[in-house]
Amino acid sequence: MSNFSSNIKYASFYQRLLAHNIDLIPILGLFYLTTLLINSKFDIIIMGSIYIFYNISFELSSLKATPGKKWNKISIENDSSRSKVLNVILRNFLKPLSLILFFLGFVMMLFNSKRQGLHDYIAGTIVLFNK
């Protein structure tokens, strides 16, 4: 576990939801452009790939956040001894698990002190509010 000071502020469920919705704008735009170029019956796989690649790319950048997260002043941080790269990749590949479990993986954020979703908990990440 990382040794964070006691005055850290975890991002709220609503800050994270707003960031996600902001990020959907460029993600859906990329998906639309892709479907114009590629007529495929695998649209769900293409959409999922764009979503995961978008999130991983930005979260591993020097921003530590997607544009939506940056706008809402939140960032992804390590909360485990694993490498940041492994944590971010694992976190984003586990997001569908939080979704397919009837959103319970996301609802978890409302009921734990670090406001971690299932994907954050397993991957060893936390989402911080950067004042």
Cα–Cα distance list, 32 to 49, 89, 120 (Å): 13, 24, 29
**Contact present, 105 and 119 (Cβ < 8 Å):** yes
14-59 pLDDT, tens digit each:
999 999 999 999 999 999 999 889 888 888 899 999 999 999 999 9
C-beta atoms surrounding 64 within 10 Å: 18
b/e map 35-56, b = 16+ CB within 10 Å: eeeeeeeeeeeebeebbeebbb
- On whether residue 88 sits in a domain, the answer given is yes
Number of domains in the chain: 1
Q: Is residue 7 part of a domain?
A: no
Backbone angles phi, psi at 65, to 5 degrees: -165, 155
Residue 61 domain boundaries: 13-129
Tell whether 45 is covered by a domain. Answer: yes
Q: Is 2 within the bounds of a domain? A: no
Residue 122: other Cβ atoms inside 10 A: 17
Query: Are the beta carbons of 90 and 123 closer than 8 angstroms?
Result: yes
Report pTM.
0.87
Q: What confidence tens digit (pLDDT) does each residue in 72-108 have?
A: 999 999 988 889 999 999 999 999 999 898 899 999 9
- Answer yes or no: is 99 within a domain: yes
Residue 8 lies in a domain: no
